[in-house]
Amino acid sequence: MKRQSGPFMTIIFACAAALAAMIAPLSGALAQGRTIRLVALGDSLSAGYNLPQEAAFPVVLERALKAKGYNVEVANAGVSGDTSSGGLDRLDWSVPDGTDGVILELGANDMLRGLDPAGTRKNLEAIVERLKARNIPVLLAGMYASRNLGPDYVQKFDSLYPDIAKKHDLVLYPFFLDGVAGDRSLNLPDGMHPTARGVEIIVERILPSVESFLARLSQR
Across the chain, the runs of DSSP E, i.e. the strands, are 36-42, 72-78, 101-105, 138-141, 171-173
Catalytic residue among 5, 152, 185, 190: 190
* Residue 44 appears among annotated catalytic residues: yes
* Residue 193 appears among annotated catalytic residues: yes
* Residue 168 appears among annotated catalytic residues: no
Residue 13 lies in a domain: no
Rg (CA), the chain: 20
* Structural domain boundaries, residue 170: 38-218
Residue 108 lies in a domain: yes
First to last CA, the chain: 45
Residue 33 lies in a domain: no
Closest by CA position to 56, among listed 101, 103, 111, 97: 103
Measured between alpha carbons, how far is 80 from 108 in angstroms, rounded to an integer? 11
Residue 99 lies in a domain: yes
Q: How far is CA 65 from the centre of its chain?
A: 12
Q: What is the pLDDT of residues 54-106, one digit of tens each?
A: 999 999 999 999 999 999 999 999 999 999 999 999 999 999 999 999 999 99
Residue type, 153: Y
Please count the structural domains in the chain. Answer: 1
Q: What is the pTM of this model?
A: 0.85
Residue type, 216: R
The conformation of residue 4, written as its DSSP 8-state character, comes to P
- Domain holding 77: CATH number? 3.40.50.1110
Residue 24 lies in a domain: no
Catalytic residue among 100, 110, 193, 218: 193
Q: What is the pLDDT of residues 117-149, one digit of tens each?
A: 999 999 999 999 999 999 999 999 999 999 999
At residue 220 the predicted structure's pLDDT band, cuts being 50, 70 and 90, is confident
Catalytic residue among 44, 46, 85, 218: 44
Residue 81 lies in a domain: yes
Please give the C-alpha separations between residue 92 and each of 39, 45, 130, 210, in angstroms, as whole numbers: 12, 21, 9, 23
Residue 210 lies in a domain: yes
Q: What is the pLDDT of residues 92-113, one digit of tens each?
A: 999 999 999 999 999 999 999 9
Q: What is the pLDDT of residues 1-60, one digit of tens each?
A: 444 444 443 333 444 444 444 444 444 444 457 899 999 999 999 999 999 999 999 999
Residue 19 lies in a domain: no
